[in-house]
Structure 1
Amino acid sequence: METHTLPDPTSGRHYGMDWLRIGAFALLILYHIGMGFVPWDWHVKWPETPGWVQYPMLATNGWRLALLFLVSGFASAALLAKLGQGAYLRSRMARLWIPLLFGIVVIVPVQPWIELQFKYGYAQGFAHFWLHDYFRFGTLEGIVLPTWQHLWFVVYLIAYTLVAALLAVLVPRLTIAALLRALERGLAGRLILMVPLAWFAIRPLLLGDHEDTHALVDDGPAHFIWFSFFLLGMALRHSHGLWQSIRKSWVLAAVLSVAAYALMLGLIIGGSAPASPLVENAFEAARLVQAWCAIVALLGFADRYWNRDHALRPMLNEAVFPFYIIHQSIIVLLIWLLLGSGLPGWAGFAVTLGATAAGCWLFYRIGRCVPGLRLLIGLRGWRAPRLQAQGIRAMSAA
């Protein structure tokens, strides 16, 4: 029987986690495009929003953000181990605070301006809105201005980075090592598929029902989940035991995730509105299983099949954060501009997808090459390094 020796995920660079990070951000952009075409509330909506569009959206709805925080925690732990506490904190704050402030002032304002026009008939042009209404430090039609909109993820990442750095200073290394060993024992083998479900299920019991606000200070139940995944990602960077459990369980996790998703669809399609408490509880239980098992399956798949380098990886790994910063403003603006085009929904989606990809790419490529502008879009250093030369040549030759 053939055996496979997999790379050590806790030493060197885990390329599978890089690819998973790239995929997670790509999925986020695709999801946000979908938000304009699904019958859920958003900044701007396509005229035709058929109900079936929600079904593929639900496939990732429960785990896409948790995965982002997990891969961010893994990357933070790797950087902390490489740079040390002081340099780590300085690097993370520069790479997060500068693009956040730039985004709030320059990138984000088009989103509330379009939402105010689309939902409330706001009649002023963008220049008037930015000069007179955006920096009001209050609300307009219930929208808080100025706002960070989709950049709330960066705000939370800043907070979690600060807490992680503080814990690294205050908690003795022996205590951290003991906690890591306890986590490995608690999630050993197939327990990794069960124990976290109990952890996430107790949130409503401890903190009550809660709708995520993305406002940082009043979002405690959300922090209970997101910070847990951030810490889990940090633990994965240093734990052989956790990776062993993932390697043993990821195939079963994939099967359970698909089965739970099928149950979710069955409950939605076959149910009545409003749903009974029994159906609602069954749906939430299936959603919890589907979300956690999907994450375990993706980690195992990335570890097994993606833990290898490619010439394009450094470029893509660098590009995902600038893509994230700009993507939602491009999407909202594109859908707004296309509303009067008369295109069918599928064509509107296709145009939005292609134009968003092109716009994100131009934003990254221009920002990457202009000294100083790099810092504003979340890239390291004043001038562009030559890390992408191989990737550019490989793309040209493909």
Structure 2
Amino acid sequence: MQLNRRYDIDWVRVIAIGLLLIYHIAIGFQSWGIIIGFISNSKTWESLWIPMSMLNVWRIPLLFFVSGMGVYFALQNRNWKQLLLERTGRIFLPYLFGIFFIVPVYLYLWQYYYDFDYSYNPNPGHLWFLGNIFAYVLLLSPVFFYLKRNEDNPFVRSLKCVLGSPLGILLVIVAFMAEAWLVNPNPYTLYAMTWHGFFLGLIAFFFGFCFVLSGLPFWNMIVKWRWLFLSFAGILFSFRIVAFQQLAPNYLQAIESVYWVVSVLAFGYKYLNRPSKALDYLSQAAYPVYIIHMIFLYLGSIIIFPLDIPVYLQFALNLVFTFAGCFAFYELVIRRINIVRPLFGLKMKTFSCKPLTFKRKLYYTIKK
């Protein structure tokens, strides 16, 4: 059975990618940005780290949850071969293309800014996320197919029942806490190309699928308790800032992460589950923009950071430059050049030749 489109999940995905871009722009105004391969401004804006720290515990897990949800909807009209073929084209191809042709470009810009020796450095860079997602599809698709095709199984019914109650969130929290205890990441928010990022993403991906599998009881439950979940997230964040200067124990950050994610999903389901022309455009543009955004971020940093203007104005200008550059490149190149589209996760446009009607035949005959 084909489910109705979930516009709220599309919106959450678009918003999460937008927040990721803003977070990456903000890294350029932290003194430690150069350590993780970003162009860092000599004028730092340290107070930005407070909202960045709040985002950091849930922005990446949220994307993993949403990616797992996407697999559930993909299974509505695909068998396992079709799913793997579709995900290979949509995820693995852009991942490989990015490793060899996107990441080396912005690393070249980084070398240029710091006057380092130039070298060609193919690596996953910020696209590590895509590699993780593709691995999760390979690992979990047999489980997902079993769950989807056996929804009347006692285990699946029990899972739905548990997730349909507020206590079900504790199941997710326990899984996140167990991962934090076993892997013991330092720091907790270092996700890129780490075992912590891999296993945390795997858990989030699995539960994202299960959230949608659970149906309306789960979504009605999180909407009902959304303010409580948001309150817990806010209290834990405040406690982290005041008591631990943001360096809270991993298990507390794991709990906070789950409450933020569930709050975002709840408010999204409550207020964003409706179509719009903006969503139609942004849901297509978000993935390509994510792939290319580091190039325009680094270009903007090279141009704007040397300017003798206040730091907050530099941040605003780099924000505008990065978003404008990404969307201009998407609109003028990625979206319009058919052969380029698959390299950025978009389907190629198909063109059908309609047979000539009698009137059209007569028109072309007269015209000749």
TM-score bracket for the superposition, by shorter chain length: 0.7 to 0.9
1:85: which partner in 2?
80
Equivalent pairs counted in the alignment come to: 344
In structure 1, C-alpha distance between the alignment counterparts of 2:204 and 2:351, rounded to whole Å: 32
Determine the structure 2 residue equivalent to 1:5. none
Deviations 1:70-103 (A, max 9, x none): 1111112101222232222211111112222222
Aligned residue among 155, 161, 167 for 2:137: 161
Q: 1:314 to 1:84 in 2, by over 3 A?
A: farther
CA contact (8 A) 1:257 1:291 kept: yes
**Mapped pair 1:58 → 2:36:** no
Find out whether 1:227 has 2:202 as its counterpart.
yes
User: Is residue 318 of structure 2 the alignment partner of residue 324 of structure 1?
Assistant: no
Q: Which deviations, in whole Å up to 9, do the C-alpha atoms of 1:34-56 show, x marking residues without a partner?
A: 11112333421011213211001
Deviation sequence 1:337-393 (CA, Å, 0-9, x none): 3232223211111111111111111121121111211112211124599xxxxxxxx
After superposition, what is the alpha-carbon deviation per residue over 1:263-307, rounded to whole angstroms, capped at 9, x for unaligned? 2221255x9xxxxxxx843xx454333321111111111111111
Offset of residue 314 of structure 1: 1.5
Hey, what does 2:337 align to over in structure 1? 370
SS at 1:49 equivalent: coil
* Change over 3 Å in CA distance of 1:168–1:202 after alignment to 2: closer
Aligned-partner residue type, residue 103 of structure 1: G
The residue number in structure 2 matching 1:266 is 242
Go from structure 1 to structure 2 and tell me whether the alpha carbon gap of 1:302 and 1:267 turns closer, same or farther (over 3 Å shift).
same
Q: Which range moves more in the overlay, 310-319 or 191-200?
A: 191-200
* TM-superposed deviation, 1:313: 1.6
Residue 380, structure 1, aligned to residue 332, structure 2: no
One-letter amino acid of the counterpart of residue 343, structure 2: L
Say whether 1:242 aligns with 2:209. no
Note the 1:21-60 alignment, pairs <5 A.
21-41=13-33, 42=36, 43-60=38-55
Query: CA 1:292–1:346 in 2, change beyond 3 Å: closer, same or farther?
Result: same
The 1:297–1:32 alpha-carbon spacing in structure 2 relative to 1, beyond 3 Å, is: same
- 1:346 matches 2:324: no
1:59 shift after superposition: 1.5
1:255 partner letter: S
TM-score by length of 2: 0.85
Q: Which 5+ residue runs of structure 1 have no aligned equivalent?
A: 1-9, 124-128, 135-144, 272-278, 386-398
Secondary structure at 2:338 match in 1: coil
1:98 maps to 93
1:291–1:239 distance in 2 versus 1, CA, 3 Å: same
Q: Hey, what's the Cα distance between the residues in 1 that align with 2:179 and 2:97?
A: 34
Q: Is the contact between residue 108 and residue 149 of structure 1 (CA under 8 Å) also seen in structure 2?
A: yes
Q: Which residue does 2:302 correspond to in 1?
A: 336
CA distance in 2, matches of 1:187, 1:175: 14
Distance 1:319 1:16 in 2: 16
- 1:181 counterpart residue number: 157
SS of structure 2 residue aligned to 1:98: helix
| Amino acid corresponding to residue 260 of structure 2 in structure 1 | A
